[in-house]
Each structure stands twice: as structure tokens, then as C-alpha cells.
């Protein structure tokens, strides 16, 4: 079984093949997703909401992410494994280096940071220290209190241009993947076309290079609410493996996300 690598994900972008990703938090679900040929798994700070029932992601710690990264890594043979850097764990470059080292040691192949051009120095430092980085812009959940809630970003032209500028700056600084969350479909297409690295969307429409969902949303078991951009595949299939397969197939075919799961 050939392992998925960041270079393999880049090849998918250039070949026009969609990338599939889900969050995962334990070995059993990680193995199930891996067996069904998911491309990438993210140990997300979303665990604060879907596992712990918190209102946001801000109380999640590096130790939390490291613990769940170790569990996911034990269940994976093929999929590419990313780990979230939690709130304030990269407030300074030095903190970012130490905390990223902990997550890489726990089994991550890449770390993900939320934020725009202000992170460029930190990203350059991580890359120089052999830590692969995934960026995350648009709706960044760690900034929920700045945004005043979980709101679509980039609907106004000035804000949209800032998101484009951030994406380009992050790529230049050295990120190898970008997660783009809750932005209009047209903006996501512009960014995907401008960047040479893969862009993974969540609530960003069908024109990104791939899709990621929180596993609890995809299975319809989230404790809080079902986001507009998600789809309950378990309700449609009645079986966990069939649900994962259906999600993967619909991403590959372009059936998901539909307009119903996107923003304009």
C-alpha cells in the first residue's frame, strides 16, 4: 500500500484529481478511513467541540492534539496525517517551533496553522527546521471572537482581496497545503487557480483541489449543529464504510459539494 505524501497530493492537483480528507481522533476511525482510501486525515482542534462539547476550539491544548495524533497514527498505514496547532501555540516563532516538534514527534507529517501573512516569518522558520506546514485561511475558528461568530468570510471585495493576498504570501513563505474555509465559491476558485500548491476546501465550493469535513458532521453525529457546508452520509447509506465511500466518490466526481453546501 503506497503511502500518501505531500508530493503525491501535489501530483493530484496537477492531474486534476480531487483530494479527499476527513478529521480523525482515534485509531479505530483512522483505520476505517485509511482502509477506504482517504487521502489525508487531520487531527483537528475541532475535537474541543465534537469530542468535548465545547462551544469553540480555544481550550484545546498541544497535549490534547499530541495524544490524539498518536492514536490516529497507530491506525494509519496509507493516509497523510496532519495535526492542528491549537490556539496560541504559535503566538511566537519560538513557541511554534517547540510545539510543532511535539506534534511531529507524536506522529504528524505536517502541522496546520490558522492565519494570514502575519504568520510568514513563523512559517519560514518552521520550514527551515524541516517542519512541513499547511496554512488555513478564510474562516479560522480560533479567531471566532474576532469575527463575532462562525461567519462566511470574503463576501466583500476588500476582504476577498486580503484573503487572496494572504494565500499568495503563505505559499511564498513555504506552506505546501492550504485549507480554505467558509468563503464564496468564486473566491475559492480564484485562489485555487492562483496557487501552485493544493487547496483543500471546507465550505468553499467545488472548485478547490479537494475537500475536508469533520468526521462527526459527515456521519451526522455532531453534538452541537450540522453546518450548511456538510452532508450526512451515514443517513443516506446506513453503514459507516459505505458512508465514507460515498463521500469519497462524490468528492471525486464533483457531486459534493453541491450549491446547497456552498456559499455565494
Distance CA 156, CA 75 (A): 42
Q: Is 181 a residue of the active site? A: yes
In the block, which residue shows the cell 459534493? Answer: 256
7 known ligand binder: no
3 known ligand binder: no
46 known ligand binder: yes
45 known ligand binder: yes
How many C-alpha atoms does 77 have within 13 Å on its Cβ side? 7
55 known ligand binder: no
Length of the chain equals 264
- 135 with 178: CB under 8 angstroms? yes
Q: Alpha-carbon torsion 87, 62, 21, 223, what sign? A: negative
Out of 181, 236, 250, 264, the active site residue is: 181
- 75 with 27: CB under 8 angstroms? yes
How far is C-alpha 43 from the geometric centre of its chain's CA atoms?
Answer: 9
- Residues annotated within the binding site are 45-46, 84, 112, 114
Active site residues: 181
Binding-site positions for Mg(2+) read: 45, 84, 114
Binding residues for 3-methyl-2-oxobutanoate: 45-46, 84, 112
Amino acid at each position: 500500500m503506497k503511502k500518501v505524501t505531500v508530493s503525491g497530493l501535489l501530483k493530484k492537483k496537477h492531474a486534476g484529481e480531487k483530494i479527499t480528507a476527513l478529521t480523525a481522533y482515534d485509531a479505530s476511525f483512522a483505520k476505517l478511513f485509511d482502509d477506504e482510501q482517504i487521502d489525508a486525515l487531520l487531527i483537528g482542534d475541532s475535537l474541543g467541540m465534537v469530542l468535548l462539547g465545547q462551544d469553540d476550539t480555544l481550550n484545546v491544548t498541544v497535549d490534547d492534539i499530541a495524544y490524539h495524533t498518536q492514536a490516529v497514527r497507530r491506525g494509519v498505514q496509507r493516509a497523510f496525517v496532519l495535526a492542528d496547532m491549537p490556539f496560541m501555540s504559535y503566538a511566537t516563532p519560538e513557541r511554534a517551533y517547540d510545539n510543532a516538534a511535539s506534534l511531529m514527534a507524536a506522529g504528524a507529517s505536517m502541522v496546520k496553522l490558522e492565519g494570514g501573512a502575519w504568520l510568514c516569518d513563523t512559517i519560514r522558520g518552521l520550514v527551515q527546521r524541516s517542519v512541513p506546514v499547511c496554512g488555513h485561511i478564510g474562516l479560522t475558528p480560533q479567531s471566532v471572537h474576532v469575527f463575532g461568530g462562525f461567519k462566511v468570510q470574503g463576501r466583500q471585495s476588500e476582504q476577498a482581496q486580503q484573503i487572496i493576498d494572504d494565500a499568495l504570501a503563505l505559499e511564498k513563505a513555504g506552506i505546501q497545503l492550504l485549507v480554505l474555509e467558509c468563503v464564496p465559491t468564486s473566491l475559492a476558485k480564484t485562489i485555487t487557480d492562483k496557487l501552485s500548491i493544493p487547496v483543500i476546501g471546507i465550505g468553499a465550493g467545488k472548485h478547490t483541489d479537494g475537500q475536508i469535513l469533520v468526521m462527526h458532521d459527515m456521519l451526522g453525529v455532531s453534538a452541537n449543529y450540522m453546518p450548511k457546508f456538510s452532508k450526512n452520509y451515514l443517513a443516506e447509506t446506513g453503514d459507516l464504510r459505505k458512508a465514507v465511500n460515498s463521500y469519497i466518490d462524490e468528492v471525486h466526481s464533483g457531486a459534493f459539494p453541491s450549491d446547497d453546501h456552498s456559499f455565494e
